[in-house]
Amino acid sequence: MRIEILGSAAGGGFPQWNCNCRNCQAVRTGAFQGKPRTQTQVAVSNDQLSWFLLNASPDLRTQIEDSSFLHPRKGQRDSPINGVLLTSGDIDQIAGLLSLRELQPFRIYCTPSIRRILQEDNSVFAMLNRAPRPVSWTEIQASESFPLLSPAADDSGICGSVFSLGSRYPAYVSPQRTGGLRSEEALLGVVIEASGRRLTYLPAVPVIDNALLERLESADLLLFDGTFWSDDELIQVQGSGATAREMGHVPVSGADGSLRKLAELRHPRKMFVHINNTNPMLDESGPEYREVRNAGWEIAEDGYRIEL
Ligand SMILES: [Zn+2]
Q: How high is the pLDDT of residue 131?
A: 77
Q: How many helices (H) and strands (E) does the chain have?
A: 9, 14
- Flag whether pLDDT at 130 surpasses 80: yes
Q: How confident is the model at residue 154 (pLDDT cuts 50, 70, 90)?
A: very high
- Flag whether pLDDT at 133 surpasses 80: no
- Determine the distance separating the centroid of ligand 1 and the alpha carbon of 167, expressed in angstroms: 28
Q: How high is the pLDDT of residue 169?
A: 97
- Flag whether pLDDT at 55 surpasses 90: yes
**Residue range 285-301: average pLDDT?**
98
- Determine the distance separating the centroid of ligand 1 and the alpha carbon of 282, expressed in angstroms: 11
- Determine the distance separating the centroid of ligand 1 and the alpha carbon of 262, expressed in angstroms: 27
Q: Which residues surround ligand 1, an ion (CB under 5 A)?
A: 19, 21, 24, 277
How many other C-beta atoms are found inside a 10 Å radius of the C-beta of residue 194? 20
φ/ψ region of 174 (left if φ > 0, alpha if ψ in -120 to 50, else beta) reads: beta
More confident residue, 102 or 133: 102
Q: What is the dihedral of CA 56, 62, 64, 69, to 10 degrees?
A: -150
- Flag whether pLDDT at 54 surpasses 80: yes
- Determine the distance separating the centroid of ligand 1 and the alpha carbon of 243, expressed in angstroms: 16
- Determine the distance separating the centroid of ligand 1 and the alpha carbon of 93, expressed in angstroms: 20
**Residue range 207-212: average pLDDT?**
96
Mean pLDDT of the chain: 96
Q: How high is the pLDDT of residue 144?
A: 86
- Tell me which of 130-139, 140-149, 206-215 is least confident: 130-139
Kindly report, residue by residue over 229-280, the tens digit of the pLDDT.
999 999 999 888 899 999 999 999 999 999 999 999 999 999 999 999 999 9
Long-range contacts of the stretch 216-221 (C-beta < 8 A, 24+): 216/262, 216/265, 216/268, 217/265, 217/266, 217/267, 217/268, 218/267, 219/191, 219/267, 219/268, 220/267, 220/268, 220/269, 220/308, 221/3, 221/268, 221/269, 221/271, 221/306, 221/308
How far apart are the C-alpha atoms of 112 and 109, rounded to whole Å? 9
- Determine the distance separating the centroid of ligand 1 and the alpha carbon of 155, expressed in angstroms: 42
- Determine the distance separating the centroid of ligand 1 and the alpha carbon of 233, expressed in angstroms: 11
